[in-house]
Chain A
């Protein structure tokens, strides 16, 4: 399967349509782009196209639709074997079901499969790989392929099992076990059956039964023979009995018949007469027939006569009616004339009506015209009045304007001075402010001066206190010293001993001084310290006062400076103000004379002029408005006037028209008396029309009736004539026939025809007689014959009924016994047959048992071999070794120096460049691990394809994993990949490692944008 084209739209991050023309790619294709841009999505798209599912989301493919889009569509074309295919799938973000089509697109496009299920099935069949196998064989995903190398042996085994589809062995084992179990169950079932039902089904039993059957048969045979003999005897006996009876019966009959003979004779005579009479039948019939015909003809004649009379009457009636109708019809022309007159009258009336309407119409229009004219006149008057008003208002406005006497120029000038006025005002204010501030400062100064004096006083006071405190301290110190001295002296005094030298003056002590308690050192010390503290405090206070005084003086000085400054400022401001005032005054004097201060004058004038300006503007506006209105009014007036004139002319015209119409109407007045109400006219007209019609119709009808009646009469006459003729003929015939019949009767020996008639018997009577005669004769003959016949048989021994009955009874008893025996035999035969069947069945069962046992053993053996540790293990082992061997070769081709070994449970790498040193794969660098894993993965892919028996998959995608490779390994890998891409195989490389992707001749750059991802294709420049 070699991809040639992939097209996506609305698929994951590819909102817009992107196309990858795989068919144009030569050599390896690098798929590069930032993380998350959608590189792996391209592979997902291929998986989706082929299998309708994607590992990330399984079968929930609706989530593959780009967010916000309605549908995702993928079109994927690929070559496979000799053919090129196209599969198109769409899936929707809502619940609408996904669609799929598969076509073959070589010379023409042939749809092969439609609908998701069918397409999936066809593709799986075509590719020969399940979804998982395809993924493993074709797409080597990020990091997955190292898993095989580094997995635990048990994981490796299960992985290999899964990939090569060897789980089927499990199923097979189960199935084999099932088969074995089924076979065993069958065996035991058969055994049970054999033990239960068939123990007695032996050949010997059959034989015994057969013997019994045979003997019974013999018994029955002899019984049957006896029966036959008895039957024969019975037959004879019956015959003889029969004969006896017959002989007796015949004799009796013969005698009875002889007695009956005379009756029979009489019957014969009657019969003969009957025969003779019958011969007269013919002539008699003729006579009767003709008589009847004659009477029929007579009655017919009567009927025809009656009918003729009827028809004559009818004709007369019709004639009368017709004459009446004709008389009536003569009135018609007169009526027609009247009708025409009426129509003319009607027309005239209508014309008059029209004229009246016209007149009314014209009058209406006239009145309307008049009223319109009246309105216009009124409106015109109004407008004129309005115009007048406007003119007055205008005059007024003009007056007022003049009265205002506003001079714009003056106003402008004044406005110009506005600014100067403001300035002057500001200066005034400043001046006032500085006056205020000066006062404040002066006040402040006074206060500060007082403060200085106070501070000075304070300083003097504290100084005095300080001197005092010092003095006190000096005193306290002196006191303390004294106390110390006294203390020392007291202490020393202890050491004084009379006669010993004084420690102070070294002279011998003569007498001890009087002990006196030394003053409390502590107390004096305390006093001294207290005095010292007081002194310090006083000093501090003095310092403070001095400081305060200094500060106050400083502040006073500063304030003085400020004051001077302020005064100077004030002076300046005053000067400015004066100057400005003067300037202003000069400026406005020409325009606003007066004595008041210029500012005041300015303000007044400004206000005044402003007001005047307002009023002036208002007036101007009003004047303009009034002018406009006046002009408008004038225009309207003109218009209205014209219209009014027009209207009057029109009205006059209309008046003329009305007069003319009225005159015409007068002319149309009808002459007096001929005015009929419309209804009366109408009624009469209808009446006349009806009458005319009726009369005409009647005349026609009666004419027709008359003709008919005439015709009927003619027919009846004709008929009557014919009937007369018939009657005559019939009479003649009848007479002739009667005479002939009579003659014949006499000839036959009868007295008359009537007598002959009497001799006739009915058919049945005649027949009966005949029959009686014949019977008698026959019976007599029979009886005589029978008698003669059986006489010899009976001869000597007549057999009675009783004899026969006895013989019959014994026979039937015998027959019953025979039947019983026969039944017994039948039952026995049945048993025998049954037994034979069972024996046969038993044999079959035993055979079956053998087969089932054999089958059970076979499948048990198979299941045994299919156990995990037998064939599956061997298979796995073999596959694995195969894998390693070929992967090792591949690795050597890639790296030029490494091969692979497998020593349970690890892989080892043999380094040919280092004297075939073996190392565990755990010691390999990242790059080397990569190469090993790649070799294994490629080999796995190969094996998967071979196991699936599929056509070679001419494509391979490697998804990431290159990030950890050093440059040398990267080089090796790049070369290996280029090598892989030999032939027509499509090798796709997904990586973000630039050094690798830049080396590939074809590059597909995935660009992540705002609206989704797009592709930029760079094919082998």
Chain B
């Protein structure tokens, strides 16, 4: 049978005041066309369909359109990601069920809907274990986190393993067994456009918690399309359909096509999305920019300009945007970078008025405050503090 795996659409995302849903519609359109033209038995969508828990209506409409189109062709399974509202997806799922699209918002027991079973037209059985995004706080309490990170990590890991194990116990040897999961796997390559609440080594699940007897593990959350080598079974992040941010520059976006049969290993291939605009970073000085302006204008990409300047020019922003209208942001760099002080010196816990007075005196007169003056200051300060009560 043939299975299609797509993920991380982030519909409704507002990026630098731009609305990219039209591009997304193009990319997803190419996906739908593929599914409509080729014989596909199952479609898997692994989370982050929406960018926020309350997406705008436009985005909702887009996603529903796509789901309907997909569902017409083949049974479709959708799970919620960390960006989605699990409740909303469940609500939507009640209707989409009628359109052959099965949506899960919250993790469920195997018998309660966590495991779905299908039979393809050719009569091959499929077992789909679906695990939507599980919040860390449902497995690890804030207090545990406070006391020991290590213990908290282990709790999270153990929790994940337990849930995966429970669902995958339903796998059958005579069926094609699939797992859908939305999580951060330790060792995956980030694009830095993933929402940091969840991303972080601390909450990564381990590849060893993935079931070895699955034909394919469909993963969502990371935007760079990649296969996880460490996993025992073939496991892929489908990646996002568009280059969502500048961290994804250069990534070729594609969805995964899996050929699988019971008892035989799966064969994976990728089909690129068509449509949507890429992102590009350009660096250089003003003259170079003027030289390349033509090229940039015509490339139909979202451009980030890193401009080197000798000295600040107040009109440079307008100038650049005029030259290259499809600029998304303009960063300027000067030859001598000001001390960014990323690592700020530890600010003192308290500021004593006496010390500040010393600093003041030194600053104004060039000499430290004379003994008498300093002690008089302290005395008066103590008295005033007492007076205040």
A residues near B (Cβ < 8 Å) are 23-27, 168, 171-172, 175-176, 179, 858-859, 861-862, 865, 870-871, 874-875, 878, 886, 889, 897, 911-918, 946-949, 967-968, 971, 975, 978, 983-984, 994-995, 998-999, 1001, 1020-1021
- Contact present for A179 and B380 (CB under 8 Å): yes
Give, as a whole number of angstroms, the nearest-CB distance from A938 to chain B: 14
Task: Say yes or no: A984-B146 contact (C-beta < 8 A), given A862-B373, A967-B52, A1001-B135.
Answer: yes
Q: Is B282 engaged at the interface, CB distance under 8 Å to the other chain?
A: no
Q: Which residues of B contact A23 (CB under 8 A)?
A: 143
Q: Is the CB of B351 within 8 A of A858?
A: no
Q: B376 touching A971 by the CB < 8 A rule? A: no
| B384 adjacent to chain A (CB < 8 Å) | yes
> What 0/1 readout, one digit per residue, does chain B (43-81) give for beta carbons within 8 Å of chain A?
000000000111010000000000000000000000000
B298 at the A interface (CB under 8 A) = no
B 347-379 binary contact with A (CB < 8 Å = 1; else 0): 111110100110111011000000011001100
- CA separation between A435 and B53, bound complex, in Å? 92
Residues of chain A within 8 A of B264, CB atoms compared: none
Assess whether B17 is in contact with A968, with CB atoms less than 8 Å apart.
yes
Q: Does B39 contact A (CB under 8 A)?
A: no
B106 engages A1021 (CB within 8 Å): yes
Is the pair B52, A858 in contact by a Cβ cutoff of 8 Å? no
A858→B372 contact, CB < 8 A = yes
Which of B111-119, B222-230, B265-273, B327-335 lines the interface with chain A? B327-335
Q: Is A914 touching B350 in the complex (CB atoms < 8 A)?
A: no
Residues in chain A near residue B166, CB distance under 8 A: none
B54 lies within 8 A of A914 (CB)? no
Bound state CA distance, A446 and B350, in angstroms?
Answer: 125
B350 contacts which chain A residues (CB < 8 A)? 946-949
A27:B56 contact, CB within 8 angstroms: no
**Known pairs A175-B383, A858-B373, A984-B142; A995 contacts B332 (CB<8 A):** no
26 A-B pairs (CB sep. < 8 Å): A27-B142, A168-B385, A176-B376, A179-B376, A179-B380, A862-B376, A862-B380, A865-B373, A875-B356, A875-B360, A886-B344, A889-B344, A911-B317, A912-B329, A915-B307, A915-B317, A946-B347, A946-B351, A975-B197, A984-B145, A995-B53, A998-B54, A999-B54, A1001-B135, A1020-B138, A1021-B138
Alpha-carbon distance A915/B141, docked complex (angstroms): 44
Q: Is the CB of A914 within 8 A of B330?
A: yes
Complex Cα gap A875–B376 (Å): 18
Q: Mark B109-148, 1 if CB is under 8 A from A, else 0.
A: 0000000000000000000000000010110011101100
Q: Please determine whether B141 and A975 come into contact, CB atoms closer than 8 angstroms.
A: no
Question: Contact at A26–B312, with CB atoms within 8 Å?
Answer: no
Return the chain B residue nearest A130 by Cβ.
B388
Contact A26 B388 (CB under 8 A): no
A951 to chain B, nearest CB (A): 9
* C-alpha gap A27/B197 in the complex (Å): 10
Q: Is there an interface contact between B387 and A1020, defined as CB atoms closer than 8 Å?
A: no
Question: What is the CA–CA distance of A911 and B141 in the complex, to the nearest angstrom?
Answer: 39
- Establish whether residues A861 and B142, one from each chain, have CB atoms under 8 Å apart when the complex forms: no
Instruction: Please tell me if B85 contacts chain A, counting CB pairs below 8 Å.
Output: yes
- Candidate in B17, B305, B351, B372 with the most chain A CB atoms within 10 angstroms: B351
B320 touches A946 (CB 8 A): no
Contact call B53/A168, Cβ cutoff below 8 A: no
Q: Out of B314, B349, B376, which one reaches A946, CB within 8 Å? A: B349
Minimum distance in angstroms from B339 CB to a CB of chain A: 12
A913 x B380 contact (CB < 8 A): no
> Quick check: A172 and B52 within 8 Å, CB to CB?
no
A983 to B141 alpha-carbon distance, docked (Å):
12
Sample of 4 further A-B pairs with CB below 8 A, known A23-B143, A1001-B135: A24-B142, A172-B384, A916-B312, A917-B314
Is B154 among interface residues, defined by CB-CB distance under 8 A? no
Closest to A175 in B: B380
The total of Cβ contacts below 8 Å across the A-B interface reads: 124
Residues of A within 8 A of B347 (CB): 946
Partner of B384, one of A27, A175, A889, A946: A175
- Bound together, the chains give a CA A878 to CA B17 distance in angstroms of 36
Q: Is B195 an interface residue (CB 8 A)?
A: yes
* Chain B positions within 8 Å of A859 at CB level: 376
| Cα(A862)–Cα(B375), bound, Å | 10
**Nearest residue in B to A176 (C-beta to C-beta)?**
B380
Q: Give complex CA distance A24, B357 in Å.
A: 44
Q: A914 to B56, Cβ gap below 8 A? A: no
Interchain CA distance A995-B85 in the complex, whole Å: 10
Contact A915 B330 (CB under 8 A): yes
B:76-116 near A, CB below 8 Å? 85, 106
- Residues on B with C-beta less than 8 A from A914 are 317, 329-330
Q: How far is the CA of A916 from the CA of B363 in the complex (A)?
A: 32
B53 and A998 within 8 A (CB): yes
Known: A874-B364, A968-B17, A998-B53. A915 touches B332 (CB 8 A): yes
Output the least CB separation between A644 and chain B (Å): 95
A26 to B361, CA, bound (A): 47
B291 within 8 A of A: no
Q: Are B360 and A172 in contact (CB under 8 A)?
A: no
- Return A688 CB to nearest CB of chain B, in Å: 105
Take A25-B142, A26-B137, A878-B356 as given contacts and tell me if A862 and B330 are in contact as well, using a CB distance cutoff of 8 Å.
no
Complex Cα distance, B307 from A983, in Å, reads 38
Specify the chain A residue showing the minimal Cβ separation from B377.
Answer: A862
Shortest 5 CB-CB distances between A and B: which pairs?
A913-B329, A949-B350, A26-B142, A995-B54, A915-B317
Name the one of B53, B138, B344, B387 contacting A171, with C-beta atoms under 8 angstroms: B387
What's the nearest-Cβ distance from chain A to residue B109, in Å?
15
CB atoms of B138 and A897 under 8 A apart: no
Report the separation of the CA atoms of residues A391 and B353 in the bound assembly, to the nearest whole angstrom.
Answer: 125
Complex Cα–Cα for A886 and B384 (A): 30
Expressed in whole angstroms, the minimum distance between the Cβ of A872 and any Cβ of chain B is 10
Chain B residue at minimal CB-CB distance from A947: B351
Q: Which residue of A lies closest to B328 (CB)?
A: A913
Contacts of B381 in A (CB 8 A): 168, 172
A998 close to B85 (CB less than 8 A) = yes
Residues of B within 8 A of A25 (CB): 142
Instruction: Give every chain A residue within 8 A of B143 (Cβ-Cβ).
Output: 23
Bound-state Cα–Cα, A24 to B330, Å: 44
Binary per-residue interface labels of chain B (204-223) against chain A in the complex, 1 for a CB within 8 Å, 0 otherwise:
00000000000000000000
| CB-based nearest A residue for B54 | A995
